[in-house]
Amino acid sequence: MNNNPLSFVQPTADSPWGTYISQVDRVVPYLGHLAKWAETLKRPKRALIVDVPIELDNGEVAHFEGYRVQHNLSRGPGKGGVRYHPEVTLEEVMALSAWMTVKCAAVNLPYGGAKGGIRVDPKKLSHKELERMTRRYTSEIGIIIGPQRDIPAPDVNTNGQIMAWMMDTYSMNTGTTATGVVTGKPIHLGGSLGRVKATGRGVFVTGREAARRLNMKLDGARVAVQGFGNVGSSAAELFAQAGAKIVAAQDHTGTIYNPSGFDMADITAHVKATGGVGGFKGAEAMDGEAFWDVACDILIPAALEGQITAERAQRIKARLVLEGANGPTLPTADDILAERGVLVVPDVICNAGGVTVSYFEWVQDFSSFFWSEDEINLRLDKIMAGALKHIWDTADKHRITLRTATFAVACERILIAREERGLYP
């Protein structure tokens, strides 16, 4: 049967959706009788494309294309972020929503997967234009989101302020204060303590557990981070606190290297002041492609998808790759890293800290009872470490990679729910 879920989407092997389909195909042999339902995983349940017209500050009208895709809702309401980026496409959002389905099931959260985005460069909009675009987009997708239907969250180029506007717009349109319609909100609007750094913390926790299995000491370990935004910087900070040296960093502003390690307080201040790592005086600038040749023990790709190609996989020096981004490693690169003995902790478990604390936020909003940050972190650490142990045991049992094992665990849970719910009508 045709694996293309939508006739106007033609994925290639290295595209986000093509990468996801390849990952599903690899896990089918481990699904047993549930394999009959595998086609479910290759087709989004619902894809919404919306026009987002706004009046610019100069009086002109601009149109932006927005998306919200609900990949699978068998285990619960959709959950997934919203990104603002000039290269957002429907196919990318489809893949991201599918990875959210797998991610939520991998850590056993009662959610399905969803994702949203607008094709826009938000840096070119004023604060008021950004607000108008966010509110119009929220109104357009309001027909399919809701606290028990689909719960957006921050992603690339979106933050707590964007979520506040989304929550307010949805609330005004429904006539009730619906704090649970989004997560990643400001604390005083029902946000959760620990949410901002949760994804980076999840990367650290899974990295710490993986390092133990490899008998790798974090004290003195060399770490290279691609993407020094919320996820990459938070993970770097935690690894530095554990004694590791952050020796290289790369983002849209440049690539920097210091074999002795960065002073985290200095680079954090620099990034806050300038918007990126480029120009940091505590390190030397280097060619962007040379980042993949850096001598390091741990590599954290925390930028966008498709960064680790087959060619780059041959050059990576790290023993351990922690996928802070979604879909950063192409399937061909995955095979090369496995052959070279490089352990990859896949995105669908490695960066699940964000959605886990989003779940905590959602639960707290419903009960109107909020936990301390220490409680949040303890619960997060326990869930992440427990989920990784179960996945690792599955990998050892079948002698498969952690990625295939994560998909095996997650897809079994998703398809059991699909089978038990049955088909309607």
Residue pair 103/406 in contact (Cβ under 8 Å)? The answer is: no
CA atoms within 13 A on the CB side of 191: 22
Buried b (16+ CB within 10 A) or exposed e, 37-57: bbebbbbbbebbebebebeee
Residue pair 205/382 in contact (Cβ under 8 Å)? The answer is: no
Q: Name the one residue in this structure whose structure tokens are 């994560």.
A: 406
Question: Considering only CA atoms, which of 230, 214, 283 is closest in space to residue 254?
Answer: 283
Distances from the Cα of 264 to the Cα of 46, 175, 226, 296, 301, angstroms: 43, 46, 15, 17, 18
- Helix (H) / strand (E) element for 421: namely helix 402-421
Ordered alpha helix ranges (H), 113-263: 127-141, 160-174, 198-213, 230-241
CB under 8 Å to 152, separation ≥6 — which residues? 68, 80, 81, 82, 114, 116, 145, 163, 166, 181, 182, 183
CA atoms within 13 A on the CB side of 134: 28
Question: Considering only CA atoms, which of 85, 92, 89 is closest in space to residue 121?
Answer: 85
The rounded distance, in Å, linking the Cα atoms of 140 and 130 is 15
Helices 230-241 and 264-274, axial angle in degrees (round to 10): 170
List residues with catalytic annotation.
115
